Structure 1
């Protein structure tokens, strides 16, 4: 049922209600029939209100005795209460602006952040992998390096005794090679920086070189006596790390390929990475050491490390060079250590350290953001993106149910692939650039190419 309509008859003349101070407040009828009260202040009251708003603050005026004296004086002289003349009267002086603060527009706040403040991440990072591939018979061995992504967009994946190539663009899967003996397995793979050459390390101490485009075996290099667990390229020099703790340099352009031996570890070398400018080689071992080796003219004899970092309490497999600060190195320790440490290799100083609460198996620096991503085993089995240099967590990516063994990054720096002991290979689109940042990067790359072209001419 609808309620009955009720009409209101507004009064023709306004009612007058005297105030306590003698001033009058007139009420005017509203459309709904109720009254609203609009105070009418005299000119004297408005002048008094203006005086109260603009006069300097005196703390002594806040005492009860002083207030009573002022009130009595105002009522006797002006015939109204001072309290009714006040309009939004705020007592006390405003706080001084912080040192160095500039506000020319009078409306903007300082852009300085408080110490330890982390700006909220504004970009969208997918919490689920873009693609999940089955990887049966992948070795659950923390010390091996079983995946790598080429500049030609091919992902090399090791499954037991076979190396497969996955074309990221076409999704085509190509079996490249298989070991001839059933007791021999593939222990490491590494693509040359720019090209189709793939280096393959085996448990039989061999280092093989393959042309992926032609699917052709080019060379077999034998200098180690035990399993080759890690590989890294610098131009035509291929470095290999073995379970003896030795690192060998191979010049793939000459027949006598073994050109140098580095002996700085007492146990297995499980992490190996050349810096982008080719000046340094970083190595990590199961002896809990991280070494930095200078680039020398390869020749006979042994060489001493430039720096040796001993702070890790477990095996150091994760080693990665910062792409925009060539002398900055990140290292990660195993289950008993769990720390990521950032080093300046020139001075030997530690820049930062963070307890990840999990075994660190791999670290990659982003080329699109000032960030790095780490892969973890026990107990979290996750990927974590860190903001550099504060080392605040940007995102945690959960998708694997067992130890993440290796990470590798796409050539454009937008995606990361993880290989895990749960026999899966997962692709994460965690460093996608927005359109504005992408245009800026393309413009910068175009400018670099133009400068390089002019210098060549």
Structure 2
């Protein structure tokens, strides 16, 4: 039994959160025993005294204490019936009943319910035991940036055709913004702010269904309702040539150096070599309805086409009438008009669906897989990738008619740019990548400076544009 007693004594010694049962009496206990007091009561009195010295007793909160009511509650037996405190207590009782307060809940003293909160920035050292953060080797990178919520400029666009399938806005490498208004094309010089009319349809029944600038130079392709494509030299404001062959309107076009790809309402995609007289070099037939979206990849190796048949096709550079798509995707549940290739990863393609779909999908064209799908809750009309940030911007219709900036690859919403009162139809980006222009059915064009260039990075001057005289001579060669 001796070893059990030793173990009990050892537990009592090592157990520091309880009084030791055996051992010499404390000094205050000896004095209490000599005075004939109970040990427990003396311990409680000593404990209260010790806690009081440490300042942990309850302190009355004078801000919420009713001193008059407390005085009456203590002294009412000694007060006369008509004393001032009696009348004052009645008034307090009346006020309490009117406010819905129970008079029985009134207290002589009022105390705070909870301990005061720690000051802002207070760090609990105990949490260090459960944290595993990495030590920063330098200043923390900025994760947010200021995005203006108001447009930098608003331009009037009267008679802008409210048609989801048309592409009526494009920005040239020479900083000229082209917009089709009804049967005419207007140019806005973003550098000087001047506006000029480039051309106008001769027939009142004909209208412009698409515009597309060449990658380098002043040549602009204009698709019409009759199925013709006109090539204009914007610098000289001169019609260079007219290419025929489509049986219906041409709403989508995209350049790949001297090859112009165009899609018509019949679902046919045509490749035209603008250097030669016999311009039609290939026809692609894999859409059953209107081709409303066309986009060549930045490296010029792949062509993405979207149609009103809810089909997205990716084509390679092999030209021929019997060509088949490299990939065919049927994931979208509505027309696929919004198409954009990633500028820093040419194999990445973003596509957006119409009202019945509302999804933005990211595709890997090398493997033919869908990397992500994001429900935007509204019609997607256009998509653009930022050249400065790993973000993309989309234009939408009902119900907010907004532009939305998304963070890639998480596809989390960065900001909504609102202001249009009708659905956004087209988006285009300035040559420096800092400004996005949006054309909407409210007949306005709004310029949003949402991708401003970071000033801390090294600045490089604008790339010199190529001389268009050689391209013009090539285009005129062989024309009869």
Calculate the TM-score normalised by the size of structure 1.
0.74
Question: How far does residue 67 in structure 1 lie from its aligned partner after superposition?
Answer: 2.2
Determine helix, strand or coil for the equivalent of 2:460. Answer: helix
Give 1:442's aligned residue: 460
Cα distance change, pair 234–357 in 1 and its aligned pair in 2 (3 A): same
Give 1:251's aligned residue: 273
Q: Which structure's residues are more often strand, by fraction?
A: 1
Give 2:222's aligned residue: 200
Ranges in structure 2 where 5+ consecutive residues have no aligned partner: 1-10, 31-45, 55-123, 465-480
Counterpart of 1:142 (choices 146, 153, 164) is 164
Counterpart of 1:391 (choices 387, 395, 411) is 411
CA distance in 1, matches of 2:356, 2:189: 37
Match runs of 1:305-384 below 5 Å: 305-384=325-404
CA distance in 2, matches of 1:333, 1:93: 48
Counterpart of 1:274 (choices 275, 293, 296) is 296
CA distance in 2, matches of 1:154, 1:381: 25
Question: How far does residue 74 in structure 1 lie from its aligned partner after superposition?
Answer: 10
Q: Which of the pair has more CA radius of gyration?
A: 2
Equivalenced residue count is 366
CA distance in 2, matches of 1:426, 1:282: 27
Give 1:212's aligned residue: 234
**What root-mean-square deviation, in Å, do the aligned CA atoms of Structure 1 and Structure 2 show?**
3.3
CA distance in 2, matches of 1:329, 1:254: 31
User: Does the 8 Å contact 1:121/1:394 carry over to 2?
Assistant: no
Question: How far does residue 69 in structure 1 lie from its aligned partner after superposition?
Answer: 1.8
Question: How far does residue 442 in structure 1 lie from its aligned partner after superposition?
Answer: 2.9
Counterpart of 1:410 (choices 425, 430, 454) is 430
CA distance in 1, matches of 2:213, 2:230: 12
**1:242 and 2:264 aligned:** yes
User: Does the 8 Å contact 1:362/1:374 carry over to 2?
Assistant: yes
User: Does the 8 Å contact 2:359/2:374 carry over to 1?
Assistant: yes
Give 2:323's aligned residue: 303
Structure 1 stretches of 4+ moved >4 Å: 59-63, 70-76, 90-94, 101-105, 443-446
Question: How far does residue 102 in structure 1 lie from its aligned partner after superposition?
Answer: 4.8
CA distance in 1, matches of 2:335, 2:136: 55
Q: Deviations over 1:68-123 (max 9, x none)?
A: 129977967xx999x99x9xxx998963554xx55499xx99x9xxxxxxx98522
Calculate the TM-score normalised by the size of structure 2.
0.70
Ranges in structure 1 where 5+ consecutive residues have no aligned partner: 1-58, 112-118, 447-457
Give 1:451's aligned residue: none
CA distance in 2, matches of 1:215, 1:419: 23
